């Protein structure tokens, strides 16, 4: 499955890329991108073969996410988080009937899933703490009643399944994910997403007010002590590599645009393309070097994971790869902007959009400071 994108995938990517600028301008959601991706099997890459999916590993998923990221990183981010959720789903001890239902829904049509974890007061739970969103146990085993507010709910206009991070109201509270289906009464989406870039992800607020889910939809709930024992290393690896792949796609898109510009731009006083000048050879070579190193880092990391590298060892390395790749992506896009000057900072220019989008890379969990603190602590303890 390394032979991606094939001609059919390439057609879909061209259509996604053609719509990216318009969605960026008005912050509209790219609904039209997902049915073709589903038809190609992209949305079911991490569903087991026995359940109708591809059973793909990290290397294939990283390549696909990167290629979508070149077309539109907003679509790529939503796909990456959907694939990561389904990769978790095939590993975690969910109630079998609930797992089958979610997997089958994705096989049958576009049925995106994502976690709703971040809150106004808590921030990201990746830094610790309990969510203020509560899950009240209904009497007689009638289910759970969810109340609270989530922010940065990526892809919410098209999510079929929401994994809502909440704290139970038990005498000894537990923390974890409660599965809610879109259309269930008891929640409202508030359009609050007004970011610098990544506008089409529509990562809006979701307010839950007494939304009821069945008892067995407490799909990944445990005591705070067990929960804080450490982030699941396989989740951490997939998250880091696929987040890096999203923004590496932006860097590659900026590089490709710049290559076309340098080959086509013929200043009147030069009489030859800018690409003929040694100055641009050197500058473009420096950007190409960063692209090549990020390609290698992502590919090697994904291949090692698929080959059975110990997850506890791989998680720390994957986080470092994410940090290196997202920061290199910013450097590449900034380098391209510097080379062409004012046009690259003008509204509506491809590089201006790439720059706004790529700046979001380091923001995703794990953030750079948590990666370097953990790395430094571990190294000093050795």
List CB contacts of 146: < 8 A, sequence separation 6 or more: 133, 134, 135, 136, 164, 166, 178, 180, 186, 208, 210, 211, 212, 213
Res 5 pLDDT > 60? no
CA angle 165, 207, 360 (to 5 degrees): 70
Decide: residue 34, CB within 10 A, 0-12 exposed, 13-18 middle, 19+ buried: buried
Mean pLDDT for the chain?
Answer: 94
Arithmetic mean of pLDDT, 321-342 = 97
Arithmetic mean of pLDDT, 92-101 = 93
In this structure, which CATH number among 1.10.540.10, 2.60.40.10, 3.40.1280.10, 1.10.10.10 belongs to the domain 7-110? 1.10.540.10
What's the CA gap between 98 and 49, in Å, rounded?
18
**Share above pLDDT 70 across residues of the chain, in percent, rounded to a whole number:** 96
pLDDT score recorded for residue 123: 65
Say which residue, 152 or 6, is predicted with more confidence: 152
Token digits of residue 132: 């203020």
Highest mean pLDDT, choosing among 87-91, 223-227, 317-321? 317-321
Res 51 pLDDT > 50? yes
What's the CA gap between 373 and 277, in Å, rounded?
43
pLDDT band per the 50, 70, 90 thresholds, residue 266: very high
Contact 243, 322 (CB under 8 A): yes
Cis preceding-peptide flag for 5 (omega within 30 of 0): yes
Arithmetic mean of pLDDT, 288-294 = 98
Arithmetic mean of pLDDT, 287-298 = 98
- When mean pLDDT is compared across 116-130, 203-217, 245-259, 346-360, the lowest value belongs to 116-130
List CB contacts of 93: < 8 A, sequence separation 6 or more: none
- When mean pLDDT is compared across 32-41, 69-78, 225-234, 365-374, the lowest value belongs to 225-234
CATH 1.10.540.10 segments of the chain: 7-110
Arithmetic mean of pLDDT, 223-235 = 75
Arithmetic mean of pLDDT, 320-346 = 96
pLDDT score recorded for residue 227: 60
What's the CA gap between 347 and 270, in Å, rounded?
28
Closest CA to 348 of 18, 84, 24: 24
Closest CA to 203 of 251, 238, 159, 146: 159
Res 1 pLDDT > 80? no
Res 7 pLDDT > 90? no
Highest mean pLDDT, choosing among 107-116, 171-180, 371-380? 107-116
What's the CA gap between 47 and 110, in Å, rounded?
13
Res 316 pLDDT > 80? yes
Arithmetic mean of pLDDT, 180-191 = 98
Arithmetic mean of pLDDT, 15-28 = 98
CATH architecture of 233-381: Up-down Bundle (1.20)
CATH architecture of 114-227: Beta Barrel (2.40)
- When mean pLDDT is compared across 135-149, 158-172, 212-226, 338-352, the lowest value belongs to 212-226
CATH 1.20.140.10 segments of the chain: 233-381
Closest CA to 89 of 209, 230, 219: 219
**Share above pLDDT 90 across residues of the chain, in percent, rounded to a whole number:** 88
pLDDT score recorded for residue 229: 55
- When mean pLDDT is compared across 85-94, 117-126, 132-141, 354-363, the lowest value belongs to 117-126
Arithmetic mean of pLDDT, 165-171 = 92
pTM above 0.75, yes or no: yes
CATH 2.40.110.10 segments of the chain: 114-227
């Amino acid at each position: 499955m390394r032979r991606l994108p094939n001609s059919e995938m390439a057609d879909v990517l061209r259509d996604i890329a053609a719509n990216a600028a318009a969605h960026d301008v008005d912050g509209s959601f790219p609904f039209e991108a997902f049915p073709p991706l589903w038809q190609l099997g992209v949305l079911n890459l991490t569903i087991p073969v026995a359940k109708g999916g591809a059973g793909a590993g990290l290397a294939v998923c990283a390549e696909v996410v990167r290629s979508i990221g070149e077309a539109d990183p907003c679509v790529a981010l939503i796909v990456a988080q959907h694939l990561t959720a389904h990769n978790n789903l095939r590993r975690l001890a969910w109630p079998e009937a609930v797992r089958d239902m979610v997997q089958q829904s994705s096989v049958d049509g576009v049925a995106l899933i994502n976690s709703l974890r971040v809150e106004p007061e808590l921030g990201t739970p990746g830094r610790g703490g309990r969510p203020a969103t509560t899950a009240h146990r209904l009497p007689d085993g009638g289910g759970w009643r969810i109340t609270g507010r989530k922010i940065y709910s990526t892809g919410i206009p098209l999510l079929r399944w929401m994994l809502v991070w909440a704290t139970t109201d038990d005498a000894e509270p537990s923390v974890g994910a409660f599965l809610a289906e879109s259309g269930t009464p008891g929640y409202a989406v508030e359009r609050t997403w007004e970011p610098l870039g990544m506008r089409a992800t529509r990562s809006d607020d979701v307010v839950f007010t007494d939304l009821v889910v069945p008892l067995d939809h407490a799909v990944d709930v445990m005591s705070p002590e067990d929960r804080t024992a450490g982030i699941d290393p396989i989740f951490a690896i997939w998250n880091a590599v696929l987040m890096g792949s999203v923004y590496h796609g932006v860097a590659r898109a900026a590089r490709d645009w710049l290559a076309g510009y340098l080959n086509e731009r013929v200043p009147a006083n030069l009489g030859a393309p800018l690409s003929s000048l040694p100055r641009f050879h050197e500058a473009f070579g420096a950007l190409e070097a960063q692209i090549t190193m990020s390609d290698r880092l992502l590919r090697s990391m994904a291949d090692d994971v698929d080959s059975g590298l110990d997850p506890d060892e791989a998680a720390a390395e994957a986080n470092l790869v994410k940090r290196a790749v997202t920061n290199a992506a910013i450097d590449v896009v900034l380098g391209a902007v510097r080379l062409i000057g004012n046009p690259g900072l003008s509204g509506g220019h491809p590089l201006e959009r790439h720059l706004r989008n790529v700046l979001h890379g380091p923001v995703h969990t794990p953030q750079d400071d948590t990666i370097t603190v953990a790395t430094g602590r571990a190294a000093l303890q050795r």
